[in-house]
Amino acid sequence: MSIVRGELAPQFSLPASGGRTVSSAALAGKPYVLYFYPKADTSGCTKEACAFQEALPQLGQCGAEVIGVSRDPVRALDKFAEKYRLAFPLASDEAGTLTEAYGVWVEKSMYGKRYMGIERSTFLVGADGLVARVWPKVKVDGHASEVLAALGAA
């Protein structure tokens, strides 16, 4: 069951790339974008991260922070962030607490094999701590622009 628009965003505190810690408490009072992606340094995830990096100046003008979340260990996230010069934090949810709280840890299927994994999803959380917008099953192309447009309209 995924989080829906209007719900209070789940609280979190996670280790992130660059020796940072990201937390909902530190983000209180400002909008933020949480995007969940399956695995660092894979083609779709790289394309999505680079698109958010490119949109960072405009997102910043809207006062919004961007945080990428996967179940990768911090070491892998550091390598990914360095390789593509990603300035925003990539949070490590190895225990799966946040991915499960947001309902993005789902059963997937590839070549007839079933497995659990992250469904690429994005959540825009308003300054009030409520989920303002949800993008389930994200298609990477044009997604960062959609998020930016939603922020401008919020």
- Give the residue numbers marked as catalytic: 45
Residue 56 class from Cβ within 10 Å (0-12 exposed, 13-18 middle, 19+ buried)?
Answer: middle
Count of helices and strands (H, E) across the chain: 5, 9
Phi, psi of 72, rounded to the nearest 5 degrees: -70, 150
CB atoms within 10 A of CB 10: 17
